[in-house]
Structure 1
Amino acid sequence: MKKLFAEFFGTYWLVFGGCGSALFAAGIPDLGIGFVGVSLAFGLTVLTMAYAVGHISGGHFNPAVSIGLWAGGRFSAKDLLPYVVSQCVGAIAAAATLFFIWSGKAGNIIDNTKAGAFASNGFDDFSPDKYSMMSCFLAEFILTMFFLLVILGATGKFSHVKFAGIAIGLALTLIHLISIPITNTSVNPARSLSQAIFAGGTPLSQVWLFWLAPIAGALAGGFIYKNLLHQHNPE
């Protein structure tokens, strides 16, 4: 149960910090942090919780990461469903908190006819810069695949594991710097689901892509690392 609570709180912090920065801080006139700041916020959530609870649960905070670690031979299949459920519940709880805070300002409404409503992900007209469904799928696939390669490499037996949280957090920052204009960045099905539930409409109907592409990318990353990159002994 401690592992599941760790995944709940870690995913809660990721969604609250990352999506919260997009909702509350990105667009403030003159002082807004912009998409660079949002990218850094997502990276910092993972970095901080990796050191806070990573030693308890492994610090996945993302269904795609759990599945990719299983594909890479680092995670047990029997723990997959409990981890994914804990991550999704944590993400939805964070989104509910964000919605309550968001609703406390007069004039704040969720316009689900526009891209990025309530920090949701989307493609075609719901992509921030109007990228096609296939472009968005490929971006999410490739970025999640490389995210798993970073995670598996940084946490490997012969790696400098004390610095793994830094590498993983910076990788997530880089991923957001690349893809916020494309999909508003998912690489995390729980993060996508939580925001889409509260946005509703088209963002919710498009959330399937942000499960399928990250999971496919994570599986590819896990298999690639396990079969092509894994070291049995240090060189």
Structure 2
Amino acid sequence: MKALFAEFFGTFWLVLGGCGSAVLAAAFPQLGIGLHGVSLAFGLTVLTMAYALGPVSGGHFNPAVTAGLCVAGRFPAARVAPYVVAQVIGAIVAGAVLALIANGKPGFDLVASGFATNGYGERSPGGYGLVSAAVTEVVLTAGFLIVILGATASKAVGSMAPVAIGLALTLIHLISIPVTNTSVNPARSTGVALFVGGGAVEQLWLFWVAPVAGAVMAALVARWLFADDAQAARGR
């Protein structure tokens, strides 16, 4: 239960901090955070929670990461579903809190704002189509998993893993916010899409399929790259 709460709260923090920076701060040009600030906010949420709650649950905060770690042999299959449920619930609760805060501003229109949802086509910030969005999410999630698996490998500098992971997520956002508004995390996408409905929910399938596919692809490569770690995990 401690691990599930850690995954719930860590994902809550990620969505509240990352999406909150986009909805509450980036909407005001005079604050000057823009794409760079939102990207950094997402990276900082993962970095801070990885240090705070990583020792409790492993610090996944992302269904794609959980699936990838399982395929890589670093996480037991029996624990995948409970982790994913905790992550999605945490994201939805964060979406609810963010909606409550945002609606405190007179005239705020949650649907018209986009509410930091992900999308392609007319829902893409830069107008990118389905194929571009799918490739972006698959490739960047795969890269993210390689960073996670490498930074947490037995030969890595363990205490610095959250820094590498947080900076990787920052880089991912700098690349892909114009394309999909950056998911690489199905829970993050779900947590805000449910409050917008319509096209945000209709396109949500991509932001489950593509990140999980990318994570699984990376995990299969990682089983070869980091074979010693997978064997050690199975032996524990």
TM-score band, normalised by the shorter chain? over 0.9
Looking at structure 2, the residues matched to 225 and 34 of structure 1 have their Cα atoms a distance apart, in angstroms, of 34
For residue 4 of structure 1, what is the aligned residue in structure 2?
4
Q: CA RMSD in A?
A: 1.1
Aligned residue type for 1:73: G
Partner residue of 1:161 out of 158, 175, 179:
158
Structure 2 residue matching 1:119: 3-state secondary structure? coil
Q: Does 1:131 align with 2:131?
A: no
Partner residue of 2:173 out of 160, 176, 179:
176
Deviation string 1:6-31 (CA, Å, 9 cap, x unpaired) is 00010000000000000011131322
Looking at structure 1, the residues matched to 12 and 213 of structure 2 have their Cα atoms a distance apart, in angstroms, of 23
Structure 1 residue matching 2:177: 3-state secondary structure? helix
Partner residue of 1:217 out of 210, 214, 228:
214
Contact 2:7–2:61 (Cα < 8 Å) also in 1: yes
Shift of 1:232: 3.0
Deviation string 1:213-235 (CA, Å, 9 cap, x unpaired) is 000000001111112x11539xx
More helix as a share of residues? 2
The number of residue pairs the alignment matches comes to 229
Looking at structure 2, the residues matched to 200 and 223 of structure 1 have their Cα atoms a distance apart, in angstroms, of 34
For residue 53 of structure 1, what is the aligned residue in structure 2?
53
Structure 1 residues 1-235: aligned runs within 5 Å: 1-111=1-111, 117-227=114-224, 229-230=225-226, 232=228
Aligned residue type for 2:117: S
Shift of 1:183: 0.1
Unaligned 5+ segments in structure 1 are none
Aligned residue type for 1:184: N
Deviation string 1:111-140 (CA, Å, 9 cap, x unpaired) is 35xxx7100000011100000101100000
Contact 1:27–1:33 (Cα < 8 Å) also in 2: no
Unaligned 5+ segments in structure 2 are 230-236
Looking at structure 1, the residues matched to 227 and 168 of structure 2 have their Cα atoms a distance apart, in angstroms, of 21
Contact 2:186–2:207 (Cα < 8 Å) also in 1: yes
Deviating 4+ runs (over 3 angstroms)? none
Structure 1 residue matching 2:170: 3-state secondary structure? helix
Looking at structure 1, the residues matched to 93 and 228 of structure 2 have their Cα atoms a distance apart, in angstroms, of 40
For residue 232 of structure 2, what is the aligned residue in structure 1?
none
Contact 2:103–2:110 (Cα < 8 Å) also in 1: no
